[in-house]
């Protein structure tokens, strides 16, 4: 299935463009074994002319037939190519950028390719309960690998120390897996947390 790139997309979002849209499907908690609970998820990736994608994922627990039982959680965040901030970039806060977009051509974006032929990316995701994750990773074609650099927890948040996420586009569908650690150092003690198979709905 060909990927349509929006004509108003800032050049540095082109590597992420296959994510843009609405996705929905079913998944399993934990390792996905026979006793794992089922969930339904709706995910959106949108853009507003600035050099990041806005991400929102809403999930509901379901029975094994996909009938919604109750809300599960919502997460929201931002996805972008990882690059040095330039003087023309906006921020912090409401400080406007001098130029939109800062990177104006495909050649400027191509210069950001890493030694593996992909692009370094950063992703921040906020959860209810006072938890925010900062991921670094790589997007290479229709594949994404992310590892937490930092997990920030509020004073009453549940224990949670690290995570990895992988995403892939397979036959036009979005597959993802999320592994987490509830203690110890990043990359240690990771266990299967959830996985899902989503189809594009718009």
Question: Annotated binding residues for heme b, as ranges?
Answer: 158, 193
C-alpha to C-alpha distances, 68 to 64, 95, 163, 182, 195, nearest whole angstrom = 10, 42, 27, 28, 17
Q: Which helix (H) or strand (E) holds 106?
A: helix 106-110
Two structure tokens written together for 146: 């992310």
Find where tokens 């908690």 sit: 29
**Cα separation, 105 vs 172, whole angstroms:** 27
Residue 124: how many CB atoms within 10 A of its CB? 17
Superfamily per CATH, domain 11-200? Calycin beta-barrel core domain (2.40.128.20)
User: Which distant-in-sequence residues (6+ apart) come within 8 Å of 27 by Cβ?
Assistant: 38, 39, 40, 41, 59, 194, 195, 196, 197
User: Which distant-in-sequence residues (6+ apart) come within 8 Å of 84 by Cβ?
Assistant: none
Find where tokens 């990177």 sit: 103
**Tens of pLDDT, residue by residue, the chain (202 residues):** 555 555 578 999 999 999 999 999 999 999 878 888 999 999 999 999 899 999 999 999 999 999 999 999 999 999 999 999 999 999 999 999 998 789 989 999 999 999 999 999 999 999 999 999 999 999 999 999 999 999 999 999 988 999 999 999 999 999 999 999 986 554 458 999 999 999 999 7
pTM: 0.92
**Cα separation, 144 vs 17, whole angstroms:** 13
Question: Annotated binding residues, as ranges?
Answer: 158, 193
For residue 34, the model assigns a pLDDT of 80
For residue 187, the model assigns a pLDDT of 46
């Amino acid at each position: 299935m060909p990927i349509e790139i929006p004509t108003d997309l800032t050049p540095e979002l082109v590597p992420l463009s296959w994510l843009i849209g609405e996705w929905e499907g079913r998944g399993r908690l934990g390792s996905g074994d026979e006793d794992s609970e089922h969930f339904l998820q709706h995910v959106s990736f949108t853009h507003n002319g600035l050099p990041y994608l806005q991400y929102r994922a809403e999930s509901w627990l379901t029975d094994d037939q996909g009938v919604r039982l109750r809300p599960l959680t919502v997460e929201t965040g931002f996805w972008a190519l990882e690059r040095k901030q330039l003087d023309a970039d906006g921020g912090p806060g409401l400080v406007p950028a001098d130029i939109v977009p800062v990177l104006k051509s495909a050649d400027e974006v191509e210069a950001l390719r890493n030694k593996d032929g992909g692009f370094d990316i950063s992703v921040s995701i906020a959860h209810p309960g006072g938890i925010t994750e900062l991921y670094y990773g790589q997007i290479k074609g229709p594949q994404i690998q992310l590892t937490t650099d930092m997990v920030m927890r509020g004073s009453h948040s549940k224990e949670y120390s690290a995570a990895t996420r992988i995403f892939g586009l397979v036959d036009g569908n979005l597959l993802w897996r999320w592994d987490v650690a509830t203690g110890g150092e990043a990359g240690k003690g990771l266990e299967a947390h959830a996985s899902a198979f989503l189809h594009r709905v718009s």
